[in-house]
Amino acid sequence: KLGRPSELPPEPLPNYEGDEEFLRRLHHVLLEVEVLEGSLQCPDSGRRFPISRGVPNLLLSEDEA
Amino acid sequence: DVSGLPPSRQPGMAEAAGDAGLGPAAAQEGAELAAVIGATVPTGFEQTAAEEVQEKLGSASRISRDRGKIYFEVPARSLPQVHRLRSVDNLFVVVQEFKDYQFKENKEDALKDLEDLVKKLPWTDPLKVWELNNSLKKKKTKRKKHNLQSPASREKLSDGGEEGGADQNNTNDQEDCAQNPVAVAPTGGQDTENPQGVTSRNGVEEEEDNEQSDVKVEVQASSESGAKAGDGQTGEGQAKVLRFRVTCNRAGDKHSFTSNEAARDFGGAVQEHFQWKADMTNFDVEVLLNIHNNEVVVGIALTEESLHRRNITHFGPTTLRSTLAYGMLRLCDPQPTDIIVDPMCGTGAIPIEGAAEWPYCYHIAGDNSPQAVKRAANNICSLLRKNESKDSSTGLGVPLDIIQWDICNLPLRTGSVDIVVTDMPFGKRIGSKKKNWDLYPACLMEMGRICTPGTGRAVLLTQDKKCFAKALSRVGHIWRRAQTVWVNVGGLHAAVYLLRRTWERAEERRPFW
């Protein structure tokens, strides 16, 4: 969730390799968008990992490790 | 004009006093010459450096027995490309090489021979190359001074202890030299410039002696003329007297003299011959006298030694030299689209070098220490700003990201990384030997998990060779040793291991991720 529409589907469609429009948007999100403040959320556990000044902190706590 | 023997190798007439370094005319002539260049490289990476020279300049190199040096020939107009080599610490132009110089046994005689040698050496052409090199440096200084005005650069420079990212990686950085004229010459006979000035790896105890010597013909206090370091102000219409110093590196156990004595007497003869002024700190010409057993090389420096040393001492003892980082990366032969991870990146020396030289790979840096992550992030910003100033509009990003993580619990998918390259913690400077005992096996396992079976590889630098060997023996099912390079890191004997990932898939024992 970038706070603005990235126009990406929730899952890659079949044959995404040939879909240039999709690839362009994906490339943009992956390599041209920098999250400075925010968080990453684990899709399984829901646990959030903070991003501060562009750097995500993915250290686990004592009990998680 | 590159046919047959290069002019610089032909026995030439002695250089008439005052002819040397006469400004733009000499520089232009210099461009036509074939120059024999000597380059100092991190010990152990001579072959890597030779490959880079072949690739970028098309010249073959000779690797001398005096470790850490390679020699190659290029047209002098290629000097800008020579300065952009990433595996090279320092450059000099060769005046003459003696493969088998016979030293007299008696000290006085041996030294007298060295003195007499000066007027017989072919100085003319190498000095033209030196002149050409100066004019290149001046252009760079102008450009850098302009950039220095931006507050961003000032912020970087004032943040002491920074590696300074890609900017500092450039051994040619005149900006720093102008800023810190103090970061030069040691006092007396102390010299730590050549890290390879340590006992030979082969176990042969060589008596090594690396000292700079000041030729005290003039009183040193007379440096009021305002000449800046490395700023050979010539071509102003009047012949300016050049300042010089001699640096002698001597290795071997059969010499009857010390490097100090050789530098002193050789320097005396140089002063006599050219009528230059001796100056330890504000010199225009640095004459190099390298003696390795019976191999003698006389050269003129093209880069500033002080910068190289500053990179090691000023920015913290554990910051990796960028030339070493480059050598390590080259060793794993990165291919376009490779994912390259440094899981213990520290200040980010390796990934930054990686992103600069291999922009078609994706580089990921990580460390558990918040200070390290912060410094690495700053260094990355410097790299971004540097790219920005080059092409104003297209602010292309850098294929590099930094994450704070735990090396034993990497948030990366199994088998998704092509290359792991890192500087493993040395027990002596960070952590402890006991910690390494537990850390090393855990690291190797986790690095093995993320690395692609079969095609993946790792290049790991460590000083704790015993611990590493033991840890490696436990993970033989995922890592195979392919090559070992013995190196010298800040005076410590270390090793760089190239490992190949076996085809065996890693277990998916993932407690959290």
Chain A contacts of B368, Cβ < 8 Å?
59
Q: Is B164 a residue whose pLDDT tops 50?
A: no
Q: Which amino acid is at B239?
A: A
Q: Is B265 a residue whose pLDDT tops 50?
A: yes
pLDDT of residue B234: 45
Clarify whether residues A25 and A1 are in a common domain. Answer: yes
- DSSP of B250-265: EE-SS-SS-HHHHHHH
B512/A60 CB distance under 8 A:
yes
pLDDT, tens only, B172-206: 332 222 222 222 333 333 333 333 333 333 333 33
Position B428 confidence tier, pLDDT thresholds 50, 70, 90: low
SS3 call for B128: helix
Q: Is B264 a residue whose pLDDT tops 90?
A: yes
Q: Is B382 a residue whose pLDDT tops 90?
A: no
Contacts of B10 (CB under 8 A, 6+ apart): B122
What does the block give as tokens for A12? 């890659």
Distance set, CA B340 to CA B48, B375, B485 (Å) = 19, 20, 20
pLDDT of residue B318: 65
pLDDT of residue B460: 97
Q: Is B41 a residue whose pLDDT tops 90?
A: yes
Q: Which residues is B34 bridged to in the sheet? A: B75
Q: Which pTM does this prediction carry?
A: 0.74
DSSP type of residue B239: P
Q: Which amino acid is at B93?
A: V
Of B34-43, B163-172, B361-370, the least confident: B163-172
pLDDT, tens only, A24-62: 888 887 777 788 898 888 888 888 999 998 899 999 887
CA separation for the pair B336, B350 (Å, rounded): 17
Could you tell me which residue, B485 or B224, shows the higher pLDDT?
A: B485
Q: Is B22 a residue whose pLDDT tops 80?
A: no
A55/B403 CB distance under 8 A:
yes
Nearest residue of A to residue B395, measured between CA atoms = A32
What does the block give as tokens for B498? 């190239």
Q: Which candidate from B377, B399, B406 shows the least CB-CB separation from A60? A: B406
User: Nearest 5°: phi and psi at B114?
Assistant: -65, -40
Position B504 confidence tier, pLDDT thresholds 50, 70, 90: very high
pLDDT of residue B221: 32
Clarify whether residues A16 and A27 are in a common domain. Answer: yes
Q: Which candidate from A32, A55, A58 shows the least CB-CB separation from B411? A: A58
Clarify whether residues A28 and A44 are in a common domain. Answer: no
The pLDDT mean for chain B works out to 76
Instruction: Tell me if chain B has a CB within 8 Å of the CB of A56.
Output: yes
CATH of the domain at B380: 3.40.50.150
Q: For residue B246, is it within any domain?
A: no
Q: For residue B44, is it within any domain?
A: no
pLDDT of residue A13: 77
Chain A contacts of B404, Cβ < 8 Å?
55-59
Clarify whether residues A5 and A26 are in a common domain. Answer: yes
Domain range for A22 is 1-33
Interface test with A, best of B341, B374, B405, B446 (most A CBs within 10 A): B405
Sheet holding B362-367, edge to edge: B400-404, B362-367, B339-342, B419-423, B457-462, B492-501, B479-489
A56/B403 CB distance under 8 A:
yes
Nearest residue of B to residue A30, measured between CA atoms = B399
Gap from B402 CA to chain A (nearest CA, Å): 6
Sheet holding A55-56, edge to edge: A38-41, A48-52, A55-56
Question: Quick one: which of B84, B87, B88, B74 has its CA closest to B37?
Answer: B74
Q: Is the ipTM of this complex over 0.90?
A: no
Q: Do residues B513 and B409 touch, judged by C-beta distance below 8 A?
A: yes
Q: Which candidate from A34, A59, A65 shows the least CB-CB separation from B404? A: A59
Clarify whether residues A54 and A26 are in a common domain. Answer: no
Could you tell me which residue, B233 or B459, shows the higher pLDDT?
A: B459
CA separation for the pair B116, B339 (Å, rounded): 57
pLDDT of residue B310: 37
Domain tally for chain B? 1
pLDDT, tens only, B449-474: 999 999 999 999 998 888 899 999 99
Domain tally for chain A? 2
Could you tell me which residue, B322 or B388, shows the higher pLDDT?
A: B322
Chain A contacts of B406, Cβ < 8 Å?
58-60, 65
Could you tell me which residue, B111 or B489, shows the higher pLDDT?
A: B111
CA separation for the pair B193, B259 (Å, rounded): 14
Q: Do residues B21 and B131 touch, judged by C-beta distance below 8 A?
A: yes
CA separation for the pair A39, A26 (Å, rounded): 19
Residues B476-481, mean pLDDT to the nearest whole number = 95
Q: For residue B489, is it within any domain?
A: yes
A 8-47 → B contacts, CB under 8 A:
31-32, 34
Could you tell me which residue, B358 or A3, shows the higher pLDDT?
A: B358
B403/A53 CB distance under 8 A:
no
Of B73-82, B155-164, B279-288, B320-329, the least confident: B155-164
pLDDT, tens only, B293-323: 999 999 999 998 654 443 333 344 467 888 9
Chain B contacts of A57, Cβ < 8 Å?
403-404
Position B498 confidence tier, pLDDT thresholds 50, 70, 90: very high
Q: For residue B392, is it within any domain?
A: yes
Contacts of B283 (CB under 8 A, 6+ apart): B229, B230, B243, B244, B245
Domain range for B436 is 322-501
Could you tell me which residue, B42 or B164, shows the higher pLDDT?
A: B42
Clarify whether residues A7 and A19 are in a common domain. Answer: yes
Q: Is B36 a residue whose pLDDT tops 80?
A: yes
Q: Do residues B323 and B86 touch, judged by C-beta distance below 8 A?
A: yes
Clarify whether residues A39 and A57 are in a common domain. Answer: yes
pLDDT of residue B469: 93
